[in-house]
Structure 1
Amino acid sequence: MFLSIATSNLVATSLARQDKKEVQHQISILLFVGLTCGFLMLLLTKIFGPWALTAFAGPKNLDILPAANTYVQIRALAWPTILVGWVAQSASLGMKDSWGPLKALAVASAVNGIGDIVLCIFLGYGIAGAAWATMVSQVVAAYMMIETLNKKGYNGFTFSVPSWNEVLTILGLAAPLFVMMISRVAFWALVTYFATSLGTNVVAAHQVMIQSYGMCSVWGQPLSQTAQSFMPELIYGINRNLSKARILLSSLVIIGATLGLVLGIVGTSVPWFFPNIFTPDQTVIQEVRSRLT
């Protein structure tokens, strides 16, 4: 996630200087960093995945470990592709192009949905089928993201090893974002850890709530992406305009505050009044409502 944000920022800043060669170089080194991180995450999942799942599931949920590990190990195969795709997607967004990533997402969603139906329902592969369907859809999405860059005149298949100074530049931008995001994810992980220790029904209720939160939290990402795509041009570009930058910032803050209020109401009302959207299990529904109160 921090790599995605760093890509948008660096690409948008280079574009503001109208330096196409620098944009290509930024994309190439970030693709290399994404690929390297992806293989590292694949390796870590292969080695520590079973241990981490065992720690999270707890003694009351040992029966779910084989299925969970199967799912995680299959999904992990896509990590290098996922991170490369995120870099390519963020580069397009830094160029103020959201249609390319949207098309890739639409196709990937269709592949995932069709794959789930075929592999899980007709062929009976269960959770492994769901994992394969998602993994393949992510590979398809990454390829489409790269092709989107290629159509803009950039080479999305070029990987360049960054120099030490370039690594420091990326770290200088990404490190604060990494600390912020890893702290957030660590908090979610801690909550999930305690939920798994309380039994299956609590885990199911927690899953409903965390998914509700996830659907609400993504609404802030477009605002963040808008700032990253437009601010560099207004602050660092050839035709810099600090007055417009302040107006844009004020508008985004107002929209963000309004969205936050609305989403807070929606995020608590939907699980309370329409819990059957998530589950027909009355025990789980009671657990969800008890968490809301």
Structure 2
Amino acid sequence: PALRPSAASYIYFRGAIAWAALSQNVALSVMMSTKDSITPLKIIGLAAVVNIVGDALLCVWPLQLGCTGAAAATAFATLLSSGFMVRALKKKNILPDIKMPTKKQFADLMEFTGPLFAITITRLFGFINMQRTAMKLGVQHLAAYQLSINVVIFFLLFGEPLSQLSQTELPSLIDKGDSSSIKATLKSVLLLGALGSLGVGAIAGMLLYFG
């Protein structure tokens, strides 16, 4: 109960701009499919700076709004980055018209995204269930859970570039039937993944051990 007001204010702000966050992710995937990783890097970097400055102004000084200020700063940064992503798509002349899909388009979309949606919902259900259980155990257990989940997210973020790399490079190679290039790309991705996981794991382990 003590955490409910702060958590509610954060959820209200983040929920209000959920559409912008989704638009940003879609635009990011489209930009990556064109093999343009520099433009998203600049936009996300700018949004991160805006978020940090917003946190300082709204949470620390002068307003000191706490969780509400943090949520507002994140919401503004998300709206900003989403707008720049859409602008980048428009400059590349690949910004699609927003309209209702036909039945065939919807069926084709669900054929591919249906299983992915099921996987996402399953993961989300698992995270929500774990958090609800941690909340029932008290504030200390909830704080420990939050720390642990942050470590998990830390690892997941390092795997995202490799996922984007695979999704960008492999489809065209598969369409061409270039088996040698496919194997070489997979080998490179797996090697990068193994080295990255070892490096990130070692750093995270040392941070946890030495505090």
Give the TM-score normalised by structure 2: 0.92
Letter in 2 for 1:186: F
Alignment correspondent of 2:210: 273
Number of matched residues? Answer: 210
**Structure 2 match to 1:152:** 92
Q: Report the secondary structure of 1:122's partner residue.
A: coil
CA distance in 2, matches of 1:69, 1:226: 37
| Counterparts of 2:129 and 2:64, CA distance in 1 | 33
Q: How does 1:6-17 map to 2 (within 5 A)?
A: none
Give 1:98 deviation, angstroms.
0.9
Letter in 1 for 2:90: N
Q: Which amino acid aligns with 2:11?
A: V
Partner of 1:236: 175
Matched, 1:194 2:133: yes
2:11 is aligned, of 33, 52, 72, to: 72
Shift of 1:177: 1.6
1:133 aligns with 2:73: yes
Gaps of 5+ in 1: 1-61, 275-293
Asked if residue 178 in structure 1 is aligned to residue 117 in structure 2, the reply is yes
Is 1:247 aligned to residue 184 of structure 2? Answer: yes
The Cα shift of 1:74 comes to 1.4
Q: Indicate the residue corresponding to 2:83 in structure 1.
A: 143
**In the TM superposition, what is the alpha-carbon distance from 1:132 to its structure 2 partner?**
0.8
Q: For 1:67-91, what per-residue CA distance to the aligned partner results, in whole angstroms no more than 9, with x for missing partners? A: 1111101111111111112111110
Q: CA deviation at 1:267?
A: 3.2
1:85-164 map, 5 Å: 85-120=24-59, 121-155=61-95, 158-164=97-103
* CA distances 1:232-264 after superposition (whole Å, capped 9, x unpaired): 111115xx5222012111221232233334433
Alpha-carbon distance, 1:186 to partner:
2.1
Alignment equivalent of 1:256, drawn from 189, 193, 207: 193
Q: Would the aligned equivalents of 1:216 and 1:267 in 2 still touch at CA under 8 Å?
A: no
Cα distance in 1 for residues equivalent to 2:49 and 2:198: 32
- Where relative contact order (Cα < 8 A, 6+ residues apart) is larger, the structure is 1
Gaps in structure 2 of 5+ consecutive residues: none
User: What is the SS of the residue equivalent to 1:218?
Assistant: helix
Give the Å deviation of 1:105.
Answer: 0.6
Q: Displacement of 1:137 after TM fit?
A: 0.4
1:10 aligned partner: none
Q: For 2:22, which of 83, 87, 90 is the aligned residue? A: 83
Matches within 5 A, 1:185-224: 185-224=124-163
Instruction: Map 1:2-41 to 2 at 5 A.
Output: none
In the aligned structure 1, how far is the partner of 2:186 from the partner of 2:2?
A: 50
Task: Write the distance in 2 (CA, Å) between the matches of 1:87 and 1:111.
Answer: 21
**Amino acid corresponding to residue 129 of structure 1 in structure 2:** G
Q: Distance in 2 between matches of 1:269 and 1:194?
A: 29
Question: Residues 185-212 of structure 1, C-alpha deviation per residue, up to 9 Å, x if partnerless?
Answer: 2222222222111111121122112112
Partners of 1:108 and 1:138 within 8 A in 2: yes
